Amino acid sequence: MNKSERYANIIPMVELNTKEKRLQPFSVFNQLRQTTPVRYDESRSCWDVFRYEDIYRILKDSATFSSRRGLAVKDRETILTMDPPRHAQLRGLVSKAFTPKVISDLASRISSITEELLDAVEIEGTIDIVSALAVPLPVIIIAELLGVPPEDRNLFKEWSDILVKGPDQNTDEAFNQVIAEKEKATDELNDYFAQIIEQRRMEPKEDLISLLLKAEVEGEKLSDKEILGFSILLLAAGNETTTNLITNAVRRVTEDRTLQQQLRGNPELIPGFIEEVLRFYPPILAIGRVATKDVEIGDIMIKKGQQVVSWVASANRDEAKFADPDTFIVDRKPNAHLSFGFGIHFCLGAPLARLEGQIVIEMLLKRLGDIQFVTDSEMTYIQSPFVYGVKQFTVSFASF
What digits encode the pLDDT tens for the residues 96-149? 767 788 888 899 999 999 999 999 887 778 999 998 999 889 988 988 888 888
Q: What is the mean pLDDT of residues 149-161?
A: 77
> Is the predicted pLDDT of residue 95 greater than 80, yes or no?
no
> Is the predicted pLDDT of residue 301 greater than 70, yes or no?
yes
Query: Which of 305, 319, 296, 353 minimizes the C-alpha distance to 58?
Result: 296
- Could you tell me which residues come within 8 angstroms of residue 327 by beta carbon, excluding any fewer than 6 positions away? none
- b/e map 192-208, b = 16+ CB within 10 Å: bbeebbeebeeeeeebb
Mean residue pLDDT of the chain comes to 87
Query: Does 380 or 399 have the greater pLDDT score?
Result: 380
Contact 248, 277 (CB under 8 A): yes
Query: Which of 211, 241, 216, 195 minimizes the C-alpha distance to 339?
Result: 241
Q: What is the mean pLDDT of residues 286-307?
A: 94
Q: What is the mean pLDDT of residues 256-271?
A: 96
Q: What is d(CA 9, CA 7) in angstroms, rounded to the nearest whole number? A: 6
**Beta pairing class for 46-49 and 307-310:** parallel
Give the pLDDT confidence score for residue 147 in this predicted structure.
85
Q: What is the mean pLDDT of residues 9-32?
A: 91
> Is the predicted pLDDT of residue 165 greater than 60, yes or no?
yes
Contact 352, 98 (CB under 8 A): yes
3-399 folds as: Cytochrome p450 (1.10.630)
Task: Quickly state the pLDDT bin for 6 (edges 50, 70, 90).
Answer: low
Task: Quickly state the pLDDT bin for 7 (edges 50, 70, 90).
Answer: low
> Is the predicted pLDDT of residue 18 greater than 70, yes or no?
yes
Q: What is the mean pLDDT of residues 14-36?
A: 96
> Is the predicted pLDDT of residue 161 greater than 50, yes or no?
yes
Q: What is d(CA 208, CA 230) in angstroms, rounded to the nearest whole number? A: 10
Give the pLDDT confidence score for residue 244 in this predicted structure.
94
Contact 210, 145 (CB under 8 A): no
Least confidently predicted of 51-55, 123-127, 212-216, 237-241: 237-241
> Is the predicted pLDDT of residue 28 greater than 80, yes or no?
yes
Each residue's pLDDT tens digit, 44-91:
899 999 999 999 999 999 899 988 754 434 444 555 566 667 667 777
Q: What is d(CA 216, CA 320) in angstroms, rounded to the nearest whole number? A: 44
Each residue's pLDDT tens digit, 356-391:
999 999 999 999 999 999 998 889 998 888 889 999
Give the pLDDT confidence score for residue 363 in this predicted structure.
96
Torsions phi, psi of 221, nearest 5? -70, 155
Beta bridge partners of residue 48, listed in sequence order: 39, 309
Contact 400, 367 (CB under 8 A): yes
Give the pLDDT confidence score for residue 82 in this predicted structure.
64
- Provide the residue ranges of all domains of the chain, joining segments of one domain with +: 3-399
Q: What is d(CA 44, CA 111) in angstroms, rounded to the nearest whole number? A: 43
Query: Does 148 or 300 have the greater pLDDT score?
Result: 300
Give the pLDDT confidence score for residue 2 in this predicted structure.
38
Give the pLDDT confidence score for residue 1 in this predicted structure.
35
Is the N-terminal amide bond of 271 cis, ω within 30° of 0? no
Determine what percent of the chain is predicted with pLDDT higher than 70: 89
Q: Which long-range contacts (CB under 8 A, 24 or more apart) does 30-39 make?
A: 30/314, 30/317, 30/326, 32/311, 32/314, 33/314, 33/317, 33/318, 37/298, 38/297, 38/298, 38/300
Query: Which of 17, 65, 12, 33 minimizes the C-alpha distance to 313?
Result: 33
Task: Quickly state the pLDDT bin for 254 (edges 50, 70, 90).
Answer: very high
Q: What is the mean pLDDT of residues 309-322?
A: 97
Beta bridge partners of residue 381, listed in sequence order: 390
Give the pLDDT confidence score for residue 80 in this predicted structure.
59
Q: What is d(CA 312, CA 341) in angstroms, rounded to the nearest whole number? A: 8
